[in-house]
A and B are shown apart, each in its own frame.
Chain A
Amino acid sequence: MARNIQLDLETVENREMRLGSIISWDGSASELVELSRYEERALRHKGCPGAGKNGEGCRLCELNMPFNQQSMCANSIAACQAGNLRDCVLIQHSPVGCTARNPEFNLAFRNGLERRGIKPRNINIMTTNLLENDMVFGASEKLKKAAREAYERYNPKAIFFSMSCSTAIIGEDLSSIAAEMEDELGIPVAPMHCEGFRSKHWSTGFDIAQHAVLRHIVNKHPKKQPDLINIVALWGTDYFTEMLKPLGLRVNYIMDIASFDELAQTSEAACTSAFCHTLGSYFATALEQEYGVPQIRAPQPYGFAGTDAWLRAIAKQVGKETEAEAFIASEHERVKPKIDALRAKLKGVSGFVLTGSSYAHGLISVLRDLGITVDGSVVFHHDPVYDGGYEEQNTLKTLVEEYGDIPHFTVSKTQPFQLPALLKRVKADFIIIRHNGLAPNAARMGIPSFAIGDEHFPVGYDGMIRVGEAVIEVLARKKMNQVLQRHVSLPYSDWWLSQKDPFILAKHPEVLDEAEEVQD
C-alpha cells in the first residue's frame, strides 16, 4: 500500500482524484467490481489502476448528462461534521444562505445527543454573514472578528473555519487567518477548504473535515489506550458497545457528537473501524499511517457474514479470538430463531436500496439475510477503492461473492428524475433511503420508504432483526402511497416518463431534439 495520506498538505485531494470516485454509472454490481480494479488501484498512488504513461485507464467511465438536479455539497458535509462537536465551534465564512441547512443539522445533533445519553442542546455554528460589499473589498477582518466572538461567547476548545463558493472565488486566505487566530487565541483553529463547487461529490467534505481534525486536534504524542476502539460514525445510536464490550473494548465515536478530547485521543486507540468505509476510510488510514493505529481489515458489520468477519478481525487485532468465537456462536444461536421467523414473514418481498456508497453494500447484505430480494440499488457515488486499500475492505466484491450479483446497480447522485425508470426495471415493495429528495417520488409511485435516520440501525446481529421488523411496519404504509398514486402525479413530462433508460440523456443526448413542443 502506497502512502496516500498527506497530512502535511493544507487540504486533502478530492475523492475523484484520490480514489477515482464516480457519480454516474449503470450496470451490474459484478461488472462494477471488475471495472473498479480495486486491488490494482490500491497498489498505486492516487487510486489509479494500471495507468499508462499518459494516464489512460485511470478513470472509470461515467455517464454525463445535461440534466442535473440539486444535491448536496462538501460545504454542507463539513458543517454537519465539524459543526456537530460538543465543545468546538464552526464558523462558516459565507453569506447567510450557506447556513440554511443548520436547523436540520441541529435536529440531527439533538437526536444524536439523546441517543448517546447526553442532554440535547442547540448546535453553535456561526456565519460571517457576508454581503455584496464583502465580495468587493474582502472579508478577512470579519472572519477574525468572528473568531474572537466565538472564543468569547462559547469558550471553545477549537474553532473550525469553512470556505464557501463565494469566499473561495474572491480568494479569502482561510489558512493564514486560521494560523493568525490560532496564535492570538491559543486554541487550535482549523481551516476547511470545502467550497461547494470543489468536488463533484459531497463526500469529499467528510475527508476535508477529518483532515482538519487530523492536522489540528489529534494528539501528536499519544499515550496508548489498549482498550479503546475508534468507530467513525455519524449520529447513530450506540449499538457498537454491545458488540464490542465482550471483546473488552470501549468505543470512541468520531466525529459527530464527539468532544475535543474524544477526537484528540483517536491516536491513542487500539484500532479504528467505521459503520461505513466511504465515511471512515480516510480517517482510519491516516491514523494507521501516522500513529500506527491499525484499521480493521474486514468488510462492514452488516449481516451474518459481515458481522462475523468484522468481529473476528477486531478480535485478532486485540488478541481476543477465543472471546470473539464464543460471542459469535452465542449470538448466532440467540438471533437465528428470530431471523428465521422474520424470513418467513418477509418471503416474496422485494426491496430497493438508495444510500451512500459502501453503506448500501452493507444494507443489501442485511436485506438478503432476511430473505428479501434485492435486484436493484442506487449508490450516490462509487469509490473504486478506499484509502485503506485492503482487499478485505472491498465491500462491493464481498457483497457479490457472498450474496450474488445485483443486476441493476446504479451510481447516481440523488437524481429523482431517474427514479421512475429505475423502479420500473425491478420489483420493489419498499425502498430504503438516506438523503432527501428521492423518497417523495417513490411515494407518488405507490412505494413506501424506510428512511434510515439512525445509521447504526442495521449494524450487527440485532441490526438484522431491527431492519426486518421495521420493513414489516413500512410495508403497511403502502396504503398511504397507494392513495397518493391514485391522486397525484410526478412532476415530469409524459415524454420523460415514457423513457425506459434512466441514462438515455447520457447515451443519446439527441433525444432532446425530438419533436420540440413549446409549453404554454
Chain B
Amino acid sequence: MAKQTKSNTIVHPRYGCAIGAAYTVAAIPGGVPIANCGPGCVDKQYYGLSGSNGFQGSGVASGGDMPSVNFGENEVVFGGAKKLDGLIKSSLKIVKGDLFVILTGCSGELIGDNVESVVKTYKQQGYNIVFADTAGFKGNNLRGHEIVVKAIIDQFVGDYKGRRRKKLINLWTEIPYFNTFWRGDLAELKRVLEGAGFEVNVFFGPQSKGISEWKSIPRASFNLVVSPWVGVSIAKHLEKKYGQPYLHIPVLPIGEEATSAFLRRVVEFAGISPEIAEKFIAREAHEYYYYLEHFADFFAEYWFGLPSKFAAVGDSAYNIALTKFLADQVGLIPVRQIITDDPPEKFRESISALYHDLTEGVEIDPEYIEDGYLVEQALYDTDFGTGVPLILGSSWEKDVAAERKGLLLEVGTPATEEVVINRSYIGYRGALTLLEKIYTSTVGGK
C-alpha cells in the first residue's frame, strides 16, 4: 500500500481553492464567471492557476476583467445579496457572454446569502445563468471544477429525452488552466479521437463550440473520462441523469503505443467500425517512428551523460501519465513519485495500483503529499544513483533541484519558468515535444 504523509499545514501550495473553478467557467467559450466573494479571492486564483502557471493569460472576461462583488465589511454584516444583484444586472449588460456562472466564496457561504433567489429572477428573464457553491473551505480547485461542471449540467443543460448520436462523445479530462498544458492536450486528444472517427465535445478552449456543445451533452453516446479521478463523479452524475454510459481511462496516453491502444479501446467501447481508426493509427505511427528513429541516434550515442532516474511531483493525472511513458517507452527509472492533488480516499488504491503496472519489471509506491515542505524533504532524501537527477515538478522544486544538481522540468502549477501557449505533452505529437523538452534540458538548453 502506498505511503501517505500528512502534515498540519501546507507550504508551497500546488492548487487553488474551490473558487478557482472560476477558471473552469472562463475556459468555456462564451462563459463568464461572476465572483461572489472578497476583492482578492479570484485574483489569487488567477495567479495560482494561470498567471504563475505558464503565464497562460485570461483572454475573456477573466483575469482582471472578472466581475466580482468584492465583499466589504458592509456585506459581511448586512448580507451581500443586494450587491450581487446589482453586479449581475450590470454584468449582463456590460460583459459579452453566453453563459454566466455565479461562484460564491467563503464570505457569502458563511453569512448564508441566498444566491439562488437572486439568480432566479434573471433565469426567469431568459438569461443563461447558473450558480455554484465554491467556498474555499469546501476543498481545492479540482473539487471546485467538478462542482461547477455539475452545476452547469443541472441548471443550464437540463433534461433531455431524445436520441443519442453514436459517434459523439463527451470528453472529460484535464482541468482548464490548472493543468498547465490543457489547451494543447485537449487539441491533441480531440485530433486523435476525430482521426479515429469520432465527434468530440471538449467543452473548454478554442476547439470547443461553447454553450451549444454543452447543450449537446445528453446527445453523446457516452462520456469518456481520461483522468485518474477528476471527472469520474461528473460521468456518474451524467449516467444517473441521462442514462449515459461512461468509459474511464485513468491514464492520459503518451506515445504511439499508448495512444493507439487508447484509441482502440475507445473504438471498441463505442462499438463503431475500427477501419477509420486503424488507418489513422497507421498514418500516425508512420510519422511518429520517423521522428523517434532520428531522435534515437542522439539517445544511443550521446557522450556526455543522460538522466536515468527520475522523480515526478504533481497532480495525479500528469504524474501517472508521465511516469508511465518514461518508464514504459523511454526506459527511465522512477524513484520518487509524489501525488500532490489530494485525490479522494476512495480513488487512492486504484491510483496506486497504476504505479504497480507501469511496465514489465518496474513498479513504485506513489506518495500522497500536499505539503511542499515534505515534498522537498522527500526529494532531498531520494537516491538518484550516479546520473543527473531528473525532476518533473513545479517551480517550488527549483531549490531542491539545484541542490541535487538535477534537471527540473516544470509540468504543473506553479510553473514560472515556462511560457505555455499551445504546447502538448500527450498523444502522438505531445510525446515527441516532451522528449524534446527533457533532452534539450539534458544537453544544456532550457
Q: Which residues of A contact B (CB under 8 A)?
A: 65-76, 91, 94-104, 106-107, 121-122, 124-132, 134-135, 142, 145-146, 149-150, 153, 164-166, 169-170, 195-198, 200, 202, 414, 416-417, 436-438, 440-441, 491-493, 495-496, 505, 512, 516, 518-520
Using CB atoms, name the residue of chain A closest to B94: A496
Interface contact A66-B86, CB-CB below 8 Å: yes
| Distance in angstroms between the alpha carbons of A516 and B92 in the assembled complex | 9
B106 touches A169 (CB 8 A): yes
7 nearest interchain CB pairs?
A437-B64, A97-B17, A73-B40, A100-B48, A103-B414, A66-B86, A95-B136
Instruction: Please judge, given known A-B contacts A66-B90, A69-B67, A126-B11, whether A197 and B47 are in contact too, CB under 8 Å.
Output: no
**9 new A-B contacts at CB < 8 Å, known A101-B43, A417-B95:** A96-B10, A96-B140, A103-B396, A106-B414, A145-B9, A169-B107, A492-B96, A516-B125, A520-B98
With A and B bound together, what is the CA distance between A72 and B71 in angstroms? 11
Question: Which of B53-61, B264-272, B301-309, B317-325 participates in binding chain A?
Answer: B53-61
Quick one: given A67-B91, A96-B16, are A440 and B39 in contact (CB under 8 Å)?
A: no
> Does B9 lie within 8 Å of A73, measured CB to CB?
no
Return the chain B residue nearest A514 by Cβ.
B93
Residue pair B68, A436 in contact (C-beta under 8 Å): no
Given B45, B107, B396, which contacts A100 in the complex, CB threshold below 8 Å? B45
Of the 9-residue stretches B72-80, B180-188, B348-356, B420-428, which lies at the interface with chain A?
B72-80
A518 touches B126 (CB 8 A): yes
Q: Which of A103, A127, A198, A440 contacts B64 (CB 8 A)?
A: A440
Nearest B-chain residue to A131, judged by Cβ: B137
**Known: A100-B49, A125-B11, A131-B139. Contact between A417 and B111, CB under 8 A?**
no
Most buried by A among B53, B75, B91: B91
Contacts A129-B9, A135-B110; A519 near B127 (Cβ below 8 A): yes
Let me know if B399 and A70 touch, CB within 8 A: no
Per-position contact with A for B33-46: 1 when CB-CB < 8 Å, else 0?
00101111111111
- In the assembled complex, 9 residue pairs joining A and B whose CB atoms fall closer than 8 Å, in A order, are A69-B66, A96-B17, A98-B41, A101-B52, A165-B107, A166-B106, A169-B106, A493-B94, A496-B94
A-B contact count (CB 8 A): 262
Instruction: Tell me the bound Cα distance from A71 to B39 in angstroms.
Output: 5
Is A121 touching B373 in the complex (CB atoms < 8 A)? no
* Given A67-B94, A96-B15, A416 and B64 contact (CB-CB distance below 8 Å): yes
Contacting pair B43 A127 (CB below 8 A): no
Known A100-B16, A129-B10; judge A122-B399 contact (CB<8 A).
Answer: yes
Chain B interfacial residues counted at CB < 8 A:
85
- Out of A149, A197, A496, which one reaches B9, CB within 8 Å? A149
Query: By the criterion CB–CB under 8 Å, are B395 and A106 in contact?
Result: yes
CB distance from A506 to the nearest CB of B (A): 11
Say whether B47 contacts A104, CB under 8 Å: yes
Given A97-B45, A121-B399, A142-B8, A164–B16 Cβ distance below 8 Å? no
Asked whether, in the complex, the Cβ of A66 is within 8 Å of the Cβ of B87, the reply is: yes
| A104-B51, A492-B95 known; A68 vs B87 contact (CB < 8 Å) | yes
Inter-chain contact B51/A71, CB cutoff 8 Å: no
Chain A CB within 8 A of B152 CB: no
Q: Are B10 and A127 in contact (CB under 8 A)?
A: yes
B274 within 8 A of A: no
- Check A196/B136 contact, CB under 8 A, given A101-B44, A122-B398, A512-B90: no
* Bound form: Cα–Cα A519–B107 in Å: 30
CB pair B107–A68 under 8 Å, yes or no, is no
Query: Is B223's CB within 8 Å of the partner chain A?
Result: no
- What separation, in Å, do the CA atoms of A441 and B107 have in the docked complex? 30
Question: Considering residues A130, A146, A149, A166, which has the most beta carbons from chain B within 10 angstroms of its beta carbon?
Answer: A166
A482 to chain B, nearest CB (A): 18
Give A252 Cβ to nearest chain B Cβ, in Å.
27
Residue from B64, B71, B413 in contact with A438 in the complex, judged by beta carbons closer than 8 Å: B64
CB of B416 within 8 Å of the partner chain = yes
* Nearest CB of A to B328, in Å: 32
Most B C-beta atoms less than 10 A away, residue of A126, A146, A493: A126
Of B7, B70, B93, B139, which one neighbours A70 at CB under 8 angstroms?
A: B70
Complex Cα spacing A102 to B137, Å: 18
B20 at the interface (CB under 8 A from A): yes
**Residue B13 interfacial (CB < 8 Å):** yes
